Chains A and B, each alone.
Chain A
Amino acid sequence: SSELTQDPAVSVALGQTVRITCQGDSLRSYYASWYQQKPGQAPVLVIYGKNNRPSGIPDRFSGSSSGNTASLTITGAQAEDEADYYCNSRDSSGNHLIFGGGTKLTVL
C-alpha cells in the first residue's frame, strides 16, 4: 500500500491528552516517524521508531504502534503544541517514502 491516513483535524483542551493516529498497511512492516510543523516553518522531527524522541523534544510527546496504526500522543497539551502533525514511513515495497495527509491540532 502507498497511503497513510490521518484525521484532518483534532482538538484538545489545554493540559489534556490527545492522540493523533496514522493508518496504513506499510505500518505493519515499518515504524512511523512524526513531524510537527508550525506556520511558515520547516517540519521538525518529534518521534521516530518505536518511541524515540530527539534531543530537545519534551517528554509529553510519545509514540506507539499496533498493527496498521501508529499513534502520536501528547500528554498535557500546551498552547505551543498547536501545529500540523505528519506521519511518515516507507511504503510496503520499502523503496519509497510516504507521508500522511497531516492532522491540524488545535489547543483550546
Chain B
Amino acid sequence: QVQLQESGPGLVKPSGTLSLTCAVSGGSISSSNWWSWVRQPPGKGLEWIGEIYHSGSTNYNPSLKSRVTISVDKSKNQFSLKLSSVTAADTAVYYCARGIVVVPAALNWFDPWGQGTLVTVSS
C-alpha cells in the first residue's frame, strides 16, 4: 500500500524559503493520481496548498500561488514543495497526501496522508 513521508527543515527564518519533500513508497508517483500539500497552523484547520500530476501539471491555492512551487521527481518517486518569503503565519504542520480524482463522477479525495512535519518560521 502507498505510504508517504515528509522531510525537510523544521525551522526556517522569516523571509526565507520553506522546502519540503514527500517520498512515495509502495506505489509509483507516475500513477494516475494527483499529489498534494496541505498545511495546518497550530490549533487551526486544514488548508490546501497545491497539487501536482506526474506530467508536471500543477494547481495552486490562489491565496498562496505567488509564493508556491510544487515539483515532481519521478526518478526518486517523490514530490516537493517550496514556499518563498515565509512569515510567522506560515508556521504549520505540513502534510503531503495522494489525491484521487474521478472526473466524470466529480469525485475527489485524499488517501493516504503522510504523518506531517512541523515547520516553524522564526529567527
Q: Residues of A at under 8 Å CB distance from B? A: 2, 29-31, 33, 35, 37, 42-45, 48-49, 54, 86, 88-90, 95-102
Using a CB–CB cutoff of 8 Å, the interface residues on chain B facing chain A are: 36, 38, 45-48, 51, 59-62, 95, 99-100, 102, 105-116
B110/A42 in contact, CB under 8 A: no
Task: Give, as a whole number of angstroms, the nearest-CB distance from A8 to chain B.
Answer: 10
Q: Do A43 and B107 have beta carbons less than 8 Å apart?
A: no
Ordered by A's residue number, 28 sampled pairs between the chains whose C-beta atoms are within 8 Å are A29-B106, A30-B106, A30-B108, A31-B108, A35-B46, A42-B95, A42-B114, A42-B115, A43-B110, A43-B113, A44-B113, A45-B110, A48-B100, A48-B107, A48-B111, A49-B105, A49-B107, A88-B48, A88-B108, A90-B108, A95-B59, A96-B59, A96-B60, A96-B61, A97-B51, A97-B59, A99-B45, A99-B46
Is A86 touching B45 in the complex (CB atoms < 8 A)?
A: yes
Contact partner of A97 among B36, B45, B95, B107, CB < 8 A?
B36
> Main SS of chain B's interface residues?
strand
A29-B106, A97-B99 known; A42 and B113 CB under 8 Å?
yes
- When distances are taken between beta carbons in the complex, the residues of chain A under 8 Å from B115 are 42
Q: Are A97 and B108 CB-contacts (below 8 A) given A42-B95, A86-B45, A86-B46?
A: yes
Residues of A within 8 A of B108 (CB): 30-31, 33, 88-90, 97
Contact A49/B109 with A42-B116, A96-B48, A97-B99 known, Cβ cut-off 8 Å: yes
Counting chain B CB atoms within 10 Å of each CB, the highest count among A2, A33, A43, A98 belongs to A43
Q: Which residues of A contact B60 (CB under 8 A)?
A: 96
**Which of B36, B100, B109, B112 is packed against the most chain A CB atoms within 10 Å?**
B109
A86 to chain B, nearest CB (A): 5
Enumerate chain B residues within 8 angstroms of A45, measured Cβ to Cβ. 109-112
Complexed CA–CA distance, A84 and B48 (Å): 17
